[in-house]
Structure 1
Amino acid sequence: MNLELTPEELRFREEVRAFLAAHLTAQIREGAAATPSVFVEPDIGQAWNAILHKQGWLAYQWPKEYGGTGWSPVQRYIFEKECAEAGAPNLTVLGLKLVAPVIYTFGTAEQKAHYLPRILSGEDYWCQGFSEPASGSDLASLQCRAVRDGDKYILNGSKIWTTHAHWANRMFCLARTDASGHKSTGISFLLVDMNQPGISVRPILTLAGDHEVNQVFLEDVVVPASDLVGEEGDGWKLAKFLLENERGGSCHAPKLAYDLRRIYADAADQPDGAGGVMAHNADWRRRVARARLGVESLEMIELKILSEIAQGQAPGPQTSLVKLLASNLRQEIDLLAMDLLGLAGLELDMRRPLYGPDAPTPVHNRQTQVAAARYLNSRAWTIFGGTNEVQASIIAKTVLNL
């Protein structure tokens, strides 16, 4: 694996840097920095999406024939790294990076023509209907039922931990269409219109007070048969494809490295309680160094996966290693931020948003106002997208062959 950028790639990096300097507004950057939840809020996220869409860079991971950039894996990595370095918000992953690849890989020509442009324009905002109250890590045990009735399905059940369901007008949903065989064989992948009778969304507030996730109740919800992706019963296969893209479709290391460098720089001004500053505290420096080594190791793994993708290989189960390491590092870096700020970091304002003209005034500064909420919200990293235990099991079985 060659880690040196070619002259063409270096020129591309300069093009990305120039674009970010010209188009990433202070308002968007400040909003992203003051968002403590895992997913960026729609007002910030959609504004940034629109800027990238105008440039033709929004679907940078899609194939060119579906509206993507046609960039190489190295170009995609450069773009993500430069966006992280510039403080850009994360993209709206549920539509762009999760359901879109399923649609352009397994969908019908009609589904591609209808949904992909609406994802790019922001006309459709998606949520994910996978987990249920009794089916999280054991997703194949889901009980939400979809019964075929002529040219439509009738959907009944509930979904939980549904990110941004209160904003979404569309849901990609796993539902059981056959209960007679093995539990993973009777699941189908459906595209659901959220703006119809029978759907109710109940908010779930995080420990930090953020409204990010919800429980969604589905009662006699109608789904046209034309919104079945793939064949009936293909849902488990499509879900595995989606989750591999979720865990390996982006690089986490650049954002983690950016946050770690910012924390380290701030340590020069933070007292250690013993007459010095945290930048000179040996124990804290050791923890930062350990985290930095972890981020650099993660980056090498992500680059190796990108190298394999460039050679035509699928992301594969090794993406579970990325998810496992990234989740633990995210929590460790947010804990480092809390320990750096000391008592000032204990501020926990439950009002939202923490950016914009109506934001509550922080006791110290915006950094200290966000730190505790971000730390609390990042506890979910080792749960969503498959728990640490699930990832360890996948790694043991499919990577280590244990």
Structure 2
Amino acid sequence: MKLSHDPELQSFREKMRAYFADEYPQDILAKTATGASLTTAEVRRAEMALGEKGWLASAWPEEFGGPGWSIEEQYIFDEELEKAGAPTVTPMGVIYVGPVIFTFGTDAQKDKWLPGLRDGSVGWAQGYSEPEAGSDLASLQFSAVRDGDEYILNGTKIWTSAAQHADWIFLLTRTSREEKKQAGITFICCKLDQPGVTVKPIITIDGKYYLSQCEFVDVRVPVSNRIGEEGKGWSYSQYLLGNERTSYARIGGKRKQLADVRKIASQIPTGGNQRLIDDSFFASRLCEAETRLDALEITVLRVLTTVRDGGSPGDEASILKIMATDLAQDITTLFLEAAAEHGNRKFDDSVSPDWTGDSAFAAPGVASYFGTRAQSIYGGTNEIQRNIIAKRVLNL
């Protein structure tokens, strides 16, 4: 894939850039820039703004309501969204469960769920991890017992991102206990306002509410909410995880972060007249991060070329997951060092009144630093990803 020297792609980029500058909700951009969390209403409004243009489900085929963009156009759209500082599209919907539904779901399920997914009016959460099944996801114990035309759900899901904004959750459930752990797992969708469902907030170290624990007690859902065949959920989850791990790259956002770090380090004194950018150790780490980002982008483009030519991310997506999350953590560490004392924040979700003028950059940077600590854990820990690469890619 080549994104430069193509007049049509450049015209497309300018169109996207103009949209985020002029048409996208500017109050959403302003709030995101402070590092404050969006309300559920704001999340819906931000995503529905993209849905109104037909752009929220940017990677979906036209036959399912996507814009029909090329891989290159999808890449540029993501890049410009991130550079504009727009909130990341909640991936659990259009990136994760949407493709599972239009690939493995029935026509009735597509008619039921795809419209709300692609227009942004319906939010989704992902029910995978459990208190005793995190990295070893195949050990999940969340049960779905068939009772006529319904399943009865019991169990707990944890570290559930954006559940407080979601209307639906897709779940990996155990419908039978086979010799192999991966067997007997079924993919089921459930409304979060069902009787018996309790969503409990998990407040993170920065005082924010990103995650929840979701408890299910005798929750009844129709069998028609099952995606695909009973006992085949593990296969569908691996298809989904390939898309999830590829989505972590966020090249545009990382380029913006590095540019911000360089600017801040060049402007904020760190003692006397010394500027941080003049510190050789800091400067070398910043340059190294920029080089690693170039390598990550080349790897992403290679994977996307495979997808464009009819392939899938496959197990190679684990390489992207490791590269992207390690780099995200290193970039935000550089930012925290550049922020110095400006990085102090109150342990609630408000913005400090001291974050004004030259220190206004600190709030979103500190929030990002804390958030990226989890990136090497969720979506399958980086240690697990290295095992996948060794066994399935290198055949060791």
State the TM-score, normalized to the length of structure 2: 0.95
Any conservation in 1 of the 2:52–2:119 contact (CA below 8 Å)? Answer: no
Match of 2:166 in 1: 168
Q: Which of 332, 336, 353 is the aligned partner of 1:361?
A: 353
Check conservation: 2:336, 2:369, Cα contact below 8 A. Answer: yes
Residues 1:349 and 2:341 are matched in the alignment: no
Show the counterpart of 1:32: 32
Larger mean CA deviation between 151-160 and 362-371 belongs to 362-371
Alignment of 1:10 with 2:7, yes or no, is: no
Give the secondary structure class of the aligned counterpart of 1:261: helix
Matched, 1:390 2:384: yes
Within 5 Å, give how 1:84-95 maps onto structure 2. Answer: 84-95=82-93
CA contact (8 A) 1:45 1:90 kept: no
2:319 matched residue in structure 1: 321
Q: Kindly provide the amino acid, as one letter, of the partner of residue 361 in structure 1.
A: P
Between the aligned partners of 1:370 and 1:49, the Cα distance in structure 2 is 20
Instruction: State how far apart, in whole Å, the 1-side matches of 2:208 and 2:256 are.
Output: 24
CA shift at 1:63, angstroms?
Answer: 0.9
* Alignment gaps of 5+ in structure 2: none
Quote the offset at 1:363 in angstroms: 4.9
- Structure 1 distance, partners of 2:39, 2:208, is 11
- Superposed CA deviations along residues 236-275 of structure 1, whole A, max 9, x for unmatched, are 0010001001111464222111111111112221112253
- 1:288 equivalenced with 2:282 (yes/no): no
User: Alignment partner of 1:57: what SS?
Assistant: coil
Q: Is the 8 A contact 1:31 1:44 kept in 2?
A: no
Contact 1:36 1:377 in 2 (8 A): no
Contact 1:77 1:251 in 2 (8 A): no
CA RMSD of aligned residues (A): 1.7
Match of 1:374 in 2: 368
Matched residue, 1:20:
20
Q: Please tell me whether the aligned partners of residues 251 and 297 of structure 2 are also in contact (alpha carbons under 8 angstroms).
A: yes
Corresponding residue for residue 59 of structure 2? 61
Say if 2:25 and 2:49, in contact at 8 Å, map to a contact too: no
Deviation at 1:41, TM superposition (A): 5.3
**Are the counterparts in 2 of residues 202 and 215 from structure 1 also a CA contact under 8 Å?**
yes
Return the alpha-carbon distance in structure 1 between the equivalents of residues 16 and 119 of structure 2: 21
Aligned residues: 394
Corresponding letter in the other structure for 1:32: T
Percentage of pairs with the same residue:
39
How many Å apart are 1:2 and its aligned residue? Answer: 4.0
TM-fit CA distance, 1:202:
1.6
Offset of residue 353 of structure 1: 4.8
Counterpart residue number, 2:332:
334
Q: Cα gap change, 1:78/1:281 in structure 2, threshold over 3 Å: closer, same or farther?
A: same
Structure 1 residue 373: Cα displacement: 3.4
Cα pair distance change 1:36/1:395, threshold 3 Å = farther
Contact 1:32 1:44 in 2 (8 A): no
Residue 362 of structure 1: how far off its partner (Å): 3.2
Contact 1:154 1:221 in 2 (8 A): yes
Which has the larger displacement, 387-396 or 360-369?
A: 360-369
Matches within 5 A, 1:233-272: 233-249=231-247, 251-272=249-270
Q: After TM superposition, give the deviation of residue 43 of structure 1 in Å.
A: 4.0
TM-score, scaled to structure 1? 0.94
**Structure 1 alignment gaps of length 5 or more:** 355-359
The answer to whether the Cα contact below 8 Å between 1:192 and 1:227 also exists between their aligned partners in 2 is yes
Q: Is the 8 A contact 1:349 1:369 kept in 2?
A: no
1:18 Cα deviation (Å)?
2.2
Matched to 2:393, the amino acid is: V
- Please give the alpha-carbon distance, in whole angstroms, between the structure 2 residues aligned to 1:180 and 1:385: 25
Determine helix, strand or coil for the equivalent of 1:276. coil
1:370 to partner: Cα distance: 3.7
